[in-house]
Amino acid sequence: VFQEGVVAEDGFFAVFDGHNGSECATYASVHLPICFVEVPNFKNKSPDELMVEGYKSGTTAVCAHIAGKKKLCIGWCGDSGAALLRSTSKIKLCFLRVMDEGGFLIFINGELRVNGVLNITRSLGDLSAGEAISSVPSTLTVDLDGSEYLLILGSDGLYDAFDGKDLFDRVEKFVKSRPAKDYNELSRYLCREASEEGSCDNITAICVFLRPVEDLWKLFCSSH
C-alpha cells in the first residue's frame, strides 16, 4: 500500500465498525489506506491534512497515523475510540472517545475532562441518509516524545464496556500476569473482557506497541 513519500517509521492503523452488513467496512479497510497515501503532495501535508483528505472516501472509522516517530494523528468519524498509554512522572492513560451524542472526552488517571463538542453521526452503510451524514473526520495530533508505550484503537463495543480507568486496569492486569511473549494476545484479551462485561455489540481492538513490549512490563512493575 505505502508508496513514495512514506518513510519506514510511518505507520497507519484503523478500526472499521460497520452495521447492516460488513460490506462497507470491508471496502473501507482495503481502500482507505490507499486513499491516505495517494493524497497529492503526501510528503508536504501535515498529519491532520492527510487524515481529512484520506477520509473523503466517506467511511466511518477511527484511524491513527504515526509520522516518523514524531507525531501521532488520530482521525475519527463515529463512535469508536482510542486510548494512548504514556508515562511521565507517573503512568497516564489518555482516553479519547467520541459518542453519537457528540461528546469529546479525555480521561487522565480517572479524571474526566470535557474538551469541546462535536457533531458526528456514523455513516457506514447508510447511503440513503445522503447529506445528513458527514464523512469529514475530526482529528487530534499528539507530539511524540518517547514516553508513549501503547495505543489502543477500538470499536464502540470495546469502549461501551470500559471507561478510562477500567481499560487501564485491564491492561495492567494483563501485563502483570503474562510473559512478554504473550503480549500479542492483548487485543484478544480486551475484547474478551468487554464481552464478559456485557457488551453486545461487535468488539474489535488493535493494540499498537510504541516501544518494545518488555518496556511495558517494566513500566507497570516499577510503578508500584
Predicted local confidence at residue 185, as pLDDT: 95
Q: Average per-residue pLDDT in the chain?
A: 69
Whether pLDDT at 141 is above 80: yes
Contacts of 133 (CB under 8 A, 6+ apart): 121, 122, 123, 126
- Structural domain contains residue 67: yes
In angstroms, the CA 214 to CA 217 distance is 5
Number of domains in the chain: 1
- pLDDT interval class at 159 (50, 70, 90): confident
Over 50: is that where the pLDDT of 114 sits?
Answer: no
Q: Give dist(CA 83, CA 168) in Å, integer.
A: 9
Exposure b/e, 167-185, CB count within 10 A at least 16 = b:
bbebbbebbeeeeeeebee
Q: Give the domain extent around 70.
A: 11-221
57 in any annotated domain: yes
CATH number for the domain harbouring residue 153 = 3.60.40.10
* Residue 214 maps to a domain: yes
Q: For residue 6, is it within any domain?
A: no
Task: Provide the whole-model pTM.
Answer: 0.68
Most confident of 14-18, 24-28, 188-192: 188-192
Q: Which residues, including other chains, have CB under 8 Å from residue 116's CB and lie 6 or more apart?
A: 104
Q: Is residue 32 a part of any domain in this protein? A: yes
Q: What is the pLDDT of residue 27?
A: 65
More confident residue, 142 or 182: 182
d(CA 54, CA 142): 19
